[in-house]
């Protein structure tokens, strides 16, 4: 991990130098344009304030130094174990304190296991777990029987939480002399439950009920009883708990939702899911997610230059995506409760599981807003709209997802504010790009949707696998390579769809400098927002440490993002292939230079025939022409519309324009020697407005030579 971080940091620093040099060069090139200089300097001041002001503010105002609970009493990465971990007997009979101490580790462990397919036993060697075990093993050596009972009892509880073999746990419970000791019934019930044996079903139920009757750990006892009934398919007893107003809120959330789902109780099901969503909404976490959402939305809008979408459609798509995201819950419940498809431990099987359960399911609900807009509105009417509306659907999904992640921990704000939004937009844009190709290139729409959907789903699953699989986490850096690909694909799709817009207007230019600057603002706000929240809720020292770690982690990807944007080429009709976005660092290749305005001398070749029956006088082609403008044909950047010095008669009509394309791909019209040139003519002016133009759309007149006029 350290080696990978070092490499990316060094590359990021090089990229940073390149961006600074580009900034200075931009100022120098526009030194006579006072308006541009003024705007550039104002932008630099704003960026500096965004980066420095929060740091200085919290440096002198934030005095928090202890962990502050954030969210549903879940830990944030910074866990402060109870003081009683030390081997001391002073509070040995404070049963409630012992219970909370052991269960606090369990809550921390469950938080870690929420996304990773690891077993609780994996954490038995963790230093916190070892401290708990050492403490209660030491209690068992006491000469006082009460203290020994405490040692055996809470050691057994800890072993249950780690899902150790129940037969070993029973050896400790048997040694307890006082069977009326607090929490004994609950821990006995838990031990019988973890045995997963039908023979222990009745005993487990008896002990959980005894614990409830004693009024001890009511919530945990009902949770254990619910899991018992669920595991052993005691549906009647489980439904009695779920549909009892006194106990329904004590049944674990996951079990309640699956009971409502299998019973087709949609009213209670959606009420439960609504309460779950609302529970995660807070001013800080929802506000942070909303700020980043708006920034990314404005970023997308900056590309929509030819036929800007109405805000009512943009906002409607966002809210549709918020609604379609809710379909995740019934789809996953169908997967678990009906198909019984649960997450495996085997890495290869887990990759397939994540691809299906995460990739396919999430990409399906994310692309629905685009499909709805295509079906029920006329808003999606240019190639870029397929990228825009797909990305907006992804932003709505990512926003709702981030509200929950930010609720869990403010440490998620910056990382997910960058990776999550970009990743989700890229995966959805991939599907949108496939639908665009079907629309504008005539491919089968069902085939294109299926292929691009499966590719996007696999990419999504492949990205997540290296982050949440117990084996894949060792190679976490593979996910970062996927992020690089995602950044490139999003810009690639955006570039290509803008170039083939059916609303293209040559006088409208993409403001790349402005977009790069705005993207840089997003990057700075993304980092400083996380720093500000952590400094506010936890303390400045934690915020400062977070700032350093996050900057080193995100720097490379942010600079790559900025360079990718700067590499965009807004050329009418040009659809590029996949490329490494470093062309912004070097002068353009010769065959990429725009030769508009160049004069050429055409000459007929005796060795290459022209279509004599289509042209009235072939000799008229021996004339001077001027390249009027670049006209991309078959994605060839060297094709041009040429203005003739005198018109020629073609097929009975006069034309004063021809399409000229070098015969050899490695040459262009700027070559110092004669260039063998293919000559085409357009039979209709409507061809100019087509998003894609191929040689089949033109009439080939033959070949001749062209020579640059110096």
For 174-231, the DSSP string reads HT-S-TTSTTHHHHHHHHHHHTT-GGGHHHHHHHHHHHHHHTSSHHHHHHHHHHHHHH
What span, in angstroms and rounded, lies between the C-alpha atoms of 150 and 95?
8
Q: Identify whether the C-beta of residue 418 lies closer than 8 Å to the C-beta of residue 530.
A: no
Q: Identify whether the C-beta of residue 271 lies closer than 8 Å to the C-beta of residue 253.
A: no
| Regions of the chain with pLDDT less than 70 | 1-6, 8-9, 12, 15-16, 18-19, 22-23, 26, 62-93, 577-592, 612-614, 616
Query: What H or E segment, with its residue span, contains residue 287?
Result: helix 283-301
Strands 653-662 and 699-708 turn out to be unpaired
Give the alpha-carbon dihedral of 481, 351, 418, 365, to 10 degrees.
Answer: 130
Both structure tokens of 596: 């508009």
Nearest to 452 by CA among 474, 480, 429: 429
**Secondary structure of 309-340 as H, E, C letters:** CCHHHHHHHHHHHHHHHCCHHHHHHHHHHHCC
* Other Cβ atoms closer than 10 A to 610: 17
Per-residue pLDDT, 71: 44
Helix and strand element counts for the chain (H, E): 23, 6
Nearest to 463 by CA among 430, 497, 508: 430
CB contact set of 656 (below 8 Å; sequence gap of 6+): 643, 644, 646, 647, 648
* Other Cβ atoms closer than 10 A to 106: 17
Q: What single DSSP character describes residue 635?
A: T
Q: Identify whether the C-beta of residue 453 lies closer than 8 Å to the C-beta of residue 431.
A: yes
Per-residue pLDDT, 571: 86
CB contact set of 441 (below 8 Å; sequence gap of 6+): 692
What is the tens place of the pLDDT at every residue in 668-694? 898 889 999 999 998 887 888 787 888
Q: What single DSSP character describes residue 591?
A: G
Per-residue pLDDT, 3: 67
Q: Identify whether the C-beta of residue 354 lies closer than 8 Å to the C-beta of residue 468.
A: yes
Place of tokens 């607090």: 182
> pTM score, two decimals?
0.86
Query: How distant, in Å, are the alpha carbons of 69, 277, 284, 335, 373 from that of 400?
Result: 22, 9, 14, 22, 20
Assign 679 to helix, strand or coil. Answer: strand
Strands 653-662 and 624-630 turn out to be unpaired
Assign residue 382 a region: left if phi > 0, alpha if psi is -120 to 50, beta otherwise? Answer: beta
């Amino acid at each position: 991990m350290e080696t990978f971080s070092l490499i990316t940091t060094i590359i990021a620093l090089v990229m940073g130098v390149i961006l600074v040099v580009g900034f200075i060069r931009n100022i120098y090139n526009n030194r006579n344009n006072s308006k541009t200089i003024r705007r550039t300097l104002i932008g630099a001041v704003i960026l500096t304030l965004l980066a420095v002001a929060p740091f200085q503010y919290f440096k002198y105002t934030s005095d928090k130094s202890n962990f502050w609970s954030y969210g549903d009493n879940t830990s944030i990465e910074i866990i402060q174990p109870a003081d009683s971990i030390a081997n001391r007997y002073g509070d040995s009979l404070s049963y409630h304190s012992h219970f909370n101490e052991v269960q606090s580790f369990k809550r921390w462990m469950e938080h870690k296991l929420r996304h990773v397919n690891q077993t609780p036993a994996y954490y038995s060697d963790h230093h916190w777990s070892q401290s708990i075990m050492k403490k209660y093993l030491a209690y068992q050596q006491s000469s006082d029987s009460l203290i020994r009972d405490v040692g055996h009892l809470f050691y057994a509880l800890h072993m249950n939480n780690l899902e150790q073999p129940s037969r070993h746990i029973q050896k400790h419970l048997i040694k307890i002399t006082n069977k009326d000791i607090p929490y004994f019934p609950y821990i006995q019930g838990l031990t019988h439950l973890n045995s997963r044996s039908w023979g222990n079903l009745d005993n487990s139920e008896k002990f959980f009920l005894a614990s409830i009757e004693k009024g001890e750990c009511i919530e945990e006892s009902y949770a254990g009883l619910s899991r018992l009934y669920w595991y052993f398919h005691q549906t009647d007893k489980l439904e009695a708990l779920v549909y009892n107003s006194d106990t329904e809120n004590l049944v674990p959330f996951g079990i309640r939702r699956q009971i409502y789902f299998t019973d087709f109780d949609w009213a209670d099901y959606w009420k439960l899911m609504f309460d779950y969503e609302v529970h995660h909404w807070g001013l800080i976490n929802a506000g942070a997610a909303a700020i980043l959402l708006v920034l990314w939305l404005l970023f997308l809008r900056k590309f929509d230059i030819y036929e800007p979408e109405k805000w009512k459609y943009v906002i409607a798509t966002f809210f549709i995506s918020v609604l379609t995201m809710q379909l995740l819950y019934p789809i996953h419940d169908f997967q678990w409760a009906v198909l019984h498809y649960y997450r495996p431990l085997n890495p290869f099987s887990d990759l397939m599981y994540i691809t299906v359960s995460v990739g396919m399911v999430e990409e399906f609900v994310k692309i629905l807003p685009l499909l709805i807009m295509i079906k029920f509105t006329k808003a999606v009417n240019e190639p870029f709209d397929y990228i825009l509306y797909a990305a907006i659907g992804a932003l709505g999904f990512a926003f709702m997802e981030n509200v929950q992640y930010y609720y869990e921990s403010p440490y998620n704000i910056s990382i997910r504010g960058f990776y999550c939004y970009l990743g989700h937009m890229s995966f959805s844009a991939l599907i949108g790009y496939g639908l665009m190709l079907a629309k504008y290139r005539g491919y089968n729409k069902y085939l294109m949707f299926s292929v691009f959907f499966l590719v996007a789903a696999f990419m999504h699953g492949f990205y997540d696998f290296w982050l949440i699989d117990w084996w894949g986490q060792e190679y976490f850096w593979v996910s970062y390579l996927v992020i690089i690909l995602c950044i490139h694909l999003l810009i690639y799709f955006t570039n290509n769809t803008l170039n083939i817009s059916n609303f293209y207007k040559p006088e409208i230019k993409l403001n790349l400098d402005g977009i790069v600057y705005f993207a840089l603002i997003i990057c700075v706000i993304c980092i400083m927002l996380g720093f500000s929240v952590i400094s506010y809720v936890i303390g400045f020292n934690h915020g400062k440490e977070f700032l350093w770690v996050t900057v080193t982690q995100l720097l490379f990807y942010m600079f790559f993002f900025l360079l990718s944007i700067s590499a965009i080429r807004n050329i009418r009709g040009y659809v590029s292939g996949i490329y490494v976005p470093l062309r912004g660092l070097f002068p353009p290749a010769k065959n990429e230079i725009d030769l508009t305005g160049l004069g050429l001398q055409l000459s007929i070749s005796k060795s290459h025939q022209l279509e004599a029956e289509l042209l009235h006088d072939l000799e008229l082609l021996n004339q001077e022409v001027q390249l009027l403008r670049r006209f991309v044909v078959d994605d060839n950047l060297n094709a041009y519309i040429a203005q003739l010095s005198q018109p020629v008669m073609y097929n009975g009509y006069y034309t004063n324009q021809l399409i000229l394309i070098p015969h050899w791909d490695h040459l262009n019209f700027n070559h110092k020697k004669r260039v063998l040139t293919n000559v085409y003519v357009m039979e209709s002016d409507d061809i100019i407005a087509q998003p894609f133009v191929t040689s089949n759309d033109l009439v080939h007149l033959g070949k001749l030579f062209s020579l640059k006029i110096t």
